[in-house]
Amino acid sequence: MKIKRILALALACMMMLTACGSNETETETETNTTTENTQTETETETEEEEVEEYTGPKDYRGWTTSRATFNPQMYTNSKTIMNAGTLVAALAENDELVWYPHHASELPTTTDGGTTWTVKIREGLVWSTGTALDATDYEYTFKMLLDPKLVNKNAAYAYDPVVIVNAKEYSQGNANWEDVGVKLVNDHELQITLQYPASELDFYSMIGSLIWPVEEETYEACMNADRTSTTYGTTLDTTPSSGMFVVSEWVTDGYEKFVRNENDPLVKEGWVKLDSYTSRYISQNATRAEMFWAGELDNHSLTGDDYLQYKNDPRAHSLLSANVWGYFMNGASKNTIMQQKDFRNALHYGTPRETICEDVYKLYPAAPALISTGIYAGDGYYRDTEAGKAIAEKYATDYDKAVELFNKAYEANGGQPVSVEYIYFEGQEDQKRQAEILQEHFENLFGSDRFTLTLRACPPASAYDLYRAGEYDLGLGVRLMGNVFNPWSGLNVWKQDYADPYITGFASDEYDQLWFDCMYGDIATDTAAKVEALAKMEELLLDYGCFVPVMQNNNCVMYHERVELATENYLPFIGFSTNQTDLIAAA
């Protein structure tokens, strides 16, 4: 019957439409993959007039993707542990980063140029469970952190990049605890001995900020029979707090709530304005967007299209990423053209990074060099230094140079048409578009009769496996820079003796030596020299052509009008200093 046929046709059309439509909603994800977590940072709002001081409840409504555990020795996202204090705290004051003693009674001191450090602990500190917190807790913490049987993820914080004597050896079962450079002088004093001297900045930002204490009683109670595992921090009951906030509610994969800890010394000094901070676990970006615009969330991470619309809105604040994304180049590939250095350099100069950022990412700036603009070196951002600027200029995008270099490489390779394969991550719409732009651009630039770029999508894990095996030509990816204050440590991935390298064929003794000098050698505490060395290392890498930088994933966060951030600018290490956020109106 006619009606039935029309109905069937209409339904078929609807089905096809939803199939197309749903594809897009499913694959539109932020380029923030795997380990990079969007920070729930806060920022000051420039309000000219001082309105009547808001005295109502200040409960911040945030969001996050799920928390795996509250055990600070296992948890990898260091900056969002609001309920744990550390020896020192990095705080925002007058739009600058300052170091304040938190559990320590004064900033740790050294008398021998950075090898031996004295750490004094405040009197009267307590855990949320009521037990006292003193230097014995810290000694216990170090001991458990490095325990060879427990295999804690964050054990390396004690020996990389700042190396505590025999810490690594102890964690591998090759030394006794007595040999380790952590000594309890008395109940409120520790002495930490390093293998190599470290600067104040390094010590405060590493040992001072990334060693969160664990509460001994709970830790022991949660230990299993053969002491290989502890369930500390896996549920609310097993999570004692020692920081500016106390975790008061936690539903796994549901939400977590932090309440201001009136017993905390920094809280007593008035650094914390919020009454509570609630983070709901919301994994869908669409839901978060809707909730924010409905006024139910206090911050929201903008997507590319939103950014264009809101980038000049006073509520929008850009973050500085520590990482530069681009693609690896395998100079040791069987594909002979890849072995030509000129070809690799041509790819670097020829990459249309500005176009890609404008068209695809919109909110991410282009990056011509390997070190991001968020990396701090000594007393300023590295990219603002003379050396840093020079590198960026030298390696800026230059299509003419690209063609020139390509021609040379082409001839040297035998004048035959060449084809290389580019790998990107499956399921990421942005990366797919980037790949397509690269393909079209390069084939036009070099001539499609001479050069073809084939594209291949892989799941991220598979892609990285291919890089490890050296079975690729070009591959999208990033090597994460864990520490904004110590870029040299993050550059260890290019060393010849690095245990988990991606094959690029880069091997330079000069580079390795520079690295060692900066980390543990003569210039380890000489900022100026280290900056020069950093520039040289960057140059070596870009000159060889092991990685083409494309963009820096500076996300942009939009805040609710009632949010007043602690700092105007994005500060290194603490961003907008979440702990110090203030709320100036009701929800």
Partner 1 sequence: MLKYILKRVAAMALTLFIILSLSFFAIRLIPGDIAGQGAAPELKAALEARYHLDKPLLEQYVIFLKNFLSFDFGESINLYPRRPVFQIIRDKIPTTLQLNIFSLALTIPIGLACGIAAALKKNTWVDYAISAMVVFNVSIPSFVFATVMQYIFCYKLEWFPFLLELEDSSFSLSKFWSMILPILALSFGGISTITRYMRAELFEALNSEYMLLSKSKGLSKLQSTLRHALRNSFIPLCNVIIPMFMNLLGGSMVVENIFGIPGIGSLTSASIQTSDYYLTIAVLFFYSCISLTSMLLVDLSYGIVDPRIRIGGGKVRE
Minimal distance, residue 389 CB to partner 1, in Å: 28
Q: Say how many residues touch partner 1, by CB under 8 A.
A: 63
DSSP 3-state of 219: helix
Residues 6+ apart with CB under 8 A from 386: none
Strand bridging mode 563-564 / 582-583: antiparallel
Among 171, 241, 373, 428, binds partner 1 (CB under 8 A): 171
Site for partner 1, residues 32 to 61, rule: CB under 8 A: 34-35
Q: Give min distance, CB of 15 to partner 1, in A.
A: 4
CB atoms within 10 A of CB 390: 12
134-163 residues in contact with partner 1 (CB under 8 A) are 148, 151, 153, 155-156, 160
Q: Are 455 and 507 in contact (CB under 8 A)?
A: no
Q: Which is nearer to partner 1, 7 or 98 (CB)?
A: 7
Query: Binding of partner 1 at residue 261 (CB under 8 A)?
Result: no
Q: Evaluate whether 373 touches 383 at the Cβ level (below 8 Å).
A: yes
Under the binding rule (CB under 8 A), the answer on residue 251 touching partner 1 is yes
Nearest to 573 by CA among 29, 9, 26, 41: 41
CB of 168 to partner 1, least distance (A): 7
Give, to the nearest 10 degrees, the angle between helix 527-544 and helix 341-350. 110
Task: For residue 305, state whether it binds partner 1 (rule: CB under 8 A).
Answer: no
- The set of residues, in sequence order, having a beta carbon less than 8 Å from that of 508 and lying 6+ positions away, is 496, 540, 544
Q: Segment near partner 1 (CB under 8 A), from 87-95, 275-283, 363-371, 407-415? A: 275-283
At its nearest, how many Å lie between partner 1 and the CB of residue 477?
9
Strand partners, 223: 230
| CA 534 – CA 311 distance, rounded (Å) | 33
Taking alpha carbons only, the member of 92, 94, 66, 93 closest to residue 80 is: 66
x/- string (CB under 8 A) for partner 1, residues 189-228? ---------------------------------------x
Distance CA 64, CA 62 (A): 7
Beta carbon nearer to partner 1, 35 or 496: 35
Work out how close the CB of 169 gets to partner 1 at its nearest, in angstroms, rounded to a whole number.
11
Q: Which of 95, 217, 253, 384 binds partner 1 (CB under 8 A)?
A: 253
3-state class (DSSP) for residue 391:
helix
Cβ distance to partner 1 smaller for residue 109 or 287? 287
**Choice from 176, 287, 309, 444 touching partner 1 (CB under 8 A):** 287
65 lies in the site for partner 1, by CB under 8 A: no
Q: In the complex with partner 1, which residue's Cβ is closer, 1 or 51?
A: 1
Distance CA 374, CA 406 (A): 32
How far apart are the C-alpha atoms of 280 and 496, rounded to whole Å?
44
CA atoms of 409 and 55, how far apart (whole Å): 69
Question: Which is nearer to partner 1, 219 or 349 (by Cβ)?
Answer: 219
The residue among 140 and 399 lying less far from partner 1, judged by its C-beta, is 140
Omega into 460 within 30° of 0, i.e. cis?
no
The minimum distance between CB 500 and partner 1, in angstroms, equals: 5
Contact residue for partner 1 among 174, 462, 496, 513 (CB under 8 A): 462
Phi, psi of 74 (to 5 degrees): -110, -25
The DSSP result for 288-349, as a single string, is HHHHHHTT--SEEEPPHHHHHHHTTSTTEEE---S-EEEEEE-TT-SSGGGG-HHHHHHHHH
Nearer to partner 1 by Cβ, of 281 and 399: the residue is 281
Between 296 and 436, name the residue whose CB sits nearer to partner 1.
Answer: 296
Establish if 76 lies at the interface with partner 1 (CB under 8 A). Answer: yes
Residues near partner 1 (CB under 8 A) are: 3, 7, 11, 14-15, 18, 21-22, 25-26, 34-35, 68-69, 71, 74-76, 148, 151, 153, 155-156, 160, 168, 171-172, 228-232, 234, 249, 251-255, 280-284, 286-287, 290-291, 293-294, 296, 459, 461-462, 464-465, 479-480, 482, 493, 498-500
